[in-house]
């Protein structure tokens, strides 16, 4: 449209003359770009409703005989674009976005399982995942067995042939940073025809694609978004599996906003740059922490003394942004160190440009028995760092001053 051109007043269907301006303002003009003229950034489709000019086309869509859009909760173009971009990154055929990472997990479990089914999960799983599975067991009759991701014998023993339908795990785990043996777990799932579900949030979208995983789950709130201003989740796999989850849990009404999709699509453009910087900083800081007095048990899969470092090297391109360590002290000392940090903000989540810190006991223990709590290493002296993209020397100086200033 040129600057001076005026849109034609709209005519109603049929004959009937010009529309009143009150009607026109509701049925406003839509600007279509010329075929050879493109926006560099995709438009954000905030429209909840989509229409066809002919009923025949609408009927085809409802009957699944054509693709298209009808209602935002079912499918949205901006969301769909992100789904396909995420799938390409993870190396899967298809994807499905949810309102949060936890919704991706709950949609997957509720979409694939029914009461009486059995699933296997790891006690090192993300705390709300443990809570969700506890709820599914207690209120919805989905049975489960919890094992250690490191205990291969117990994992295989937990399988009840015919009844166990699914296994879910993470790697590295949050926040202990244990490394799951991907080859072992995926082969076991194939051997017993279990659906393998990997929560790949910690590793990121460019890791683990070489393994035969049925469902990759991501919290897009983390590395994909990267800027602490958008929430979302993704379920990635082949189209058949993704559709089983999308439609199997459809009536739960989960909805991923196109505005969040736009923010995450923007974040995704710098995904590799951010991830590489976070991981480079994290390795540097993990090594630095090991040199500080009053710091012990520094855990980062990229450290040579991590118990499964060789496996991590084989499985991962980079080792992520999260470090866990203990201080020599009690809960008060831990809180004092955290409160003394200036650059690290005391906040949940990970994979953002900002560096963050949390005490592990308060945030990650729970839904564990006594032995697991002990083995988890989630004590009152534990601290989790999520490393951002700031200058690494500034981050080290901040840690040095907080630890030496608080613990002497
Ligand atoms: N999975 C893991 C491993 C996480 O760390 C998190 C969040 O911290 C989630 C899932 C849940 O993601 P969201 O916060 O987007 O619901």
Q: What is the pLDDT along the chain (408 residues), one digit of tens a residue?
A: 444 455 555 565 555 678 898 998 898 888 889 999 999 999 999 999 999 999 999 999 999 999 999 999 999 999 999 999 999 999 999 999 999 999 999 999 999 999 999 999 999 999 999 999 999 999 999 999 999 999 999 999 999 999 999 999 999 999 999 999 999 999 999 999 999 999 999 999 999 999 999 999 999 999 999 999 999 999 999 999 999 999 999 999 999 999 999 999 999 999 999 999 999 999 999 999 999 999 999 999 999 999 999 999 999 999 999 999 999 999 999 999 999 999 999 999 999 999 999 999 998 887 788 888 878 888 999 999 999 999 999 999 999 999 999 997
- For residue 350, give the ligand 1 atom closest to its CA: 8
Q: Give how far the C-alpha of residue 94 lies from the chain's centroid of Cα atoms, to the nearest Å.
A: 16
Q: Give how far the C-alpha of residue 40 lies from the chain's centroid of Cα atoms, to the nearest Å.
A: 26
- Kindly state whether residues 304 and 258 are assigned to the same domain: no
- Kindly state whether residues 71 and 181 are assigned to the same domain: yes
Residue 46 forms part of a structural domain: no
* SS3 assignment, position 157: helix
CA distances from 375 to 120, 152, 178, 299, 378 (A): 19, 16, 12, 14, 8
Question: Is the Cβ–Cβ distance between 179 and 311 less than 8 Å?
Answer: yes
Interatomic CA distance for residues 36 and 332, integer angstroms: 64
* Distance between Cα 201 and ligand 1 center (Å): 7
* Distance between Cα 274 and ligand 1 center (Å): 18
Question: Is the Cβ–Cβ distance between 125 and 173 less than 8 Å?
Answer: yes
pLDDT at 365: 83
Q: Which residue in 303, 281, 300 sits closest to 393, CA to CA?
A: 281
pLDDT at 114: 97
Inter-axis angle of helices 392-407 and 271-290, to 10 degrees? Answer: 40
Interatomic CA distance for residues 184 and 181, integer angstroms: 5
- Kindly state whether residues 247 and 276 are assigned to the same domain: no
pLDDT at 321: 98
* Distance between Cα 179 and ligand 1 center (Å): 17
Residue 119 forms part of a structural domain: yes
* Distance between Cα 221 and ligand 1 center (Å): 8
Residue 196 forms part of a structural domain: yes
Structure-token match 């002497």, residue found = 408
pLDDT at 9: 55
Q: What is the CATH number of the domain that holds 337?
A: 3.90.1150.10
Provide φ and ψ at 332, rounded to 5°. -60, -40
DSSP conformational letter for 196:
E
pLDDT at 1: 41
- For residue 221, give the ligand 1 atom closest to its CA: 15
Strands 295-299 and 382-386, bridge-based pairing: unpaired
Among protein residues, the one whose CA lies closest to atom 14 of ligand 1:
101
Structure-token match 């709950």, residue found = 106
| Beta carbons within 8 Å of 180's beta carbon, 6+ residues apart | 122, 149, 169, 170, 171, 173
- For residue 170, give the ligand 1 atom closest to its CA: 3
- Give the domain-ending residue among 239, 268, 297: 268
Q: Which residues pair with 237 in a beta bridge?
A: 94
* SS3 assignment, position 233: strand
- For residue 125, give the ligand 1 atom closest to its CA: 3
- Kindly state whether residues 233 and 350 are assigned to the same domain: no
Residue 102 forms part of a structural domain: yes
- Kindly state whether residues 94 and 202 are assigned to the same domain: yes
Residue 49 forms part of a structural domain: no
* Distance between Cα 343 and ligand 1 center (Å): 23
- Kindly state whether residues 138 and 187 are assigned to the same domain: yes
- Kindly state whether residues 166 and 312 are assigned to the same domain: no
- Kindly state whether residues 259 and 289 are assigned to the same domain: no
- Kindly state whether residues 23 and 120 are assigned to the same domain: no
- Kindly state whether residues 108 and 145 are assigned to the same domain: yes
- Give the domain-ending residue among 268, 299, 315: 268
- Give the domain-ending residue among 268, 285, 302: 268
Interatomic CA distance for residues 48 and 261, integer angstroms: 14
- For residue 220, give the ligand 1 atom closest to its CA: 15
Q: Which residues line ligand 1 (CB under 6 A)?
A: 100-102, 126, 170, 174, 199, 201-202, 219, 221, 231, 233, 349
Q: What is the CATH number of the domain that holds 204?
A: 3.40.640.10
Other beta carbons within 10 Å of 70: 15
- How many domains would you assign to the chain? 3
* Distance between Cα 129 and ligand 1 center (Å): 9
pLDDT at 360: 94
Residue 179 forms part of a structural domain: yes
Distant-in-sequence contacts of 235-238, Cβ < 8 A, 24+ apart: 235/95, 235/96, 235/97, 235/98, 235/104, 235/107, 235/108, 236/86, 236/87, 236/90, 236/92, 236/94, 236/95, 236/96, 237/92, 237/93, 237/94, 237/95, 237/213, 238/92, 238/93, 238/94, 238/214
Q: Which residue in 191, 194, 234 sits closest to 214, CA to CA?
A: 194
* Distance between Cα 42 and ligand 1 center (Å): 27
Residue 403 forms part of a structural domain: yes
The secondary structure element, H or E, covering residue 122 is strand 118-122
For a ligand 1 pocket test, name from 101, 224, 267 the mutation site with the most ligand atoms within 8 angstroms of its C-beta. 101
Residue 92 forms part of a structural domain: yes
Strands 195-199 and 215-219, bridge-based pairing: parallel
Q: Which residue in 378, 306, 295, 370 sits closest to 333, CA to CA?
A: 295
Strands 215-219 and 233-237, bridge-based pairing: antiparallel
Interatomic CA distance for residues 139 and 55, integer angstroms: 43
What residue numbers bound the domain in which 78 lies? 58-268
- Kindly state whether residues 288 and 386 are assigned to the same domain: yes
- Kindly state whether residues 248 and 282 are assigned to the same domain: no
């Amino acid at each position: 449209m040129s600057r001076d051109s005026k849109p034609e007043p709209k005519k109603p269907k049929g004959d009937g003359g010009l529309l009143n301006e009150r009607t026109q303002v509701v049925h406003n003009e839509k600007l279509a770009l010329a075929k050879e003229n493109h926006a560099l950034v995709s438009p954000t489709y905030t429209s909840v409703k989509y229409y066809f000019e002919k009923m025949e086309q609408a009927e085809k869509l409802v009957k699944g005989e054509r693709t298209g859009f009808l209602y935002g909760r079912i499918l949205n173009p901006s969301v769909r674009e992100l789904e396909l971009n995420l799938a390409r990154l993870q190396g899967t055929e298809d994807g499905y976005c949810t309102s949060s990472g936890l919704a991706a997990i709950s949609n997957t479990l509720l979409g694939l399982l029914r009461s009486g089914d059995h699933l296997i999960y790891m006690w090192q799983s993300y705390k709300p995942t443990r809570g969700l599975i506890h709820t599914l067991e207690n209120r919805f009759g989905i049975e489960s067995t919890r094992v250690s991701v490191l205990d291969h014998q117990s994992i295989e023993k937990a399988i009840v042939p015919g009844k166990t339908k699914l296994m879910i795990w993470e790697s590295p785990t949050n926040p202990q940073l244990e490394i799951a043996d991907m080859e072992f777990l995926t082969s076991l799932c194939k051997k017993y025809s279990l659906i393998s579900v990997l929560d790949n949030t910690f590793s990121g979208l460019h890791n683990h694609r070489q393994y035969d995983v049925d469902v990759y789950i991501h919290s897009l709130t983390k590395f994909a978004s990267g800027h602490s201003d958008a929430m979302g989740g993704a379920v990635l796999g082949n189209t058949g599996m993704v559709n089983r989850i999308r439609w199997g849990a459809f009536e739960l009404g989960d909805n991923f906003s196109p505005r969040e999709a736009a923010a995450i699509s923007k974040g995704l453009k710098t995904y590799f740059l951010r991830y590489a910087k976070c991981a480079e900083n994290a390795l540097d800081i993990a090594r630095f922490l090991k040199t500080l007095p009053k710091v012990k048990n520094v855990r980062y899969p990229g450290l040579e003394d991590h118990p499964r470092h060789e496996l991590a090297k084989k499985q991962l391109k980079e080792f992520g942004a999260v470090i866990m360590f203990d201080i020599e002290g009690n809960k008060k000392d831990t809180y004092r160190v955290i409160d003394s940090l200036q650059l690290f903000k005391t906040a949940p989540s990970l994979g953002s440009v900002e560096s963050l810190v949390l005490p592990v006991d308060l945030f990650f223990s729970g839904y564990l028995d006594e032995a697991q709590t002990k083995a988890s290493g989630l004590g009152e002296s534990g601290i989790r760092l999520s490393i951002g993209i700031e200058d690494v020397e500034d981050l080290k100086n901040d840690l040095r001053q907080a630890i030496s200033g608080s613990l002497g």
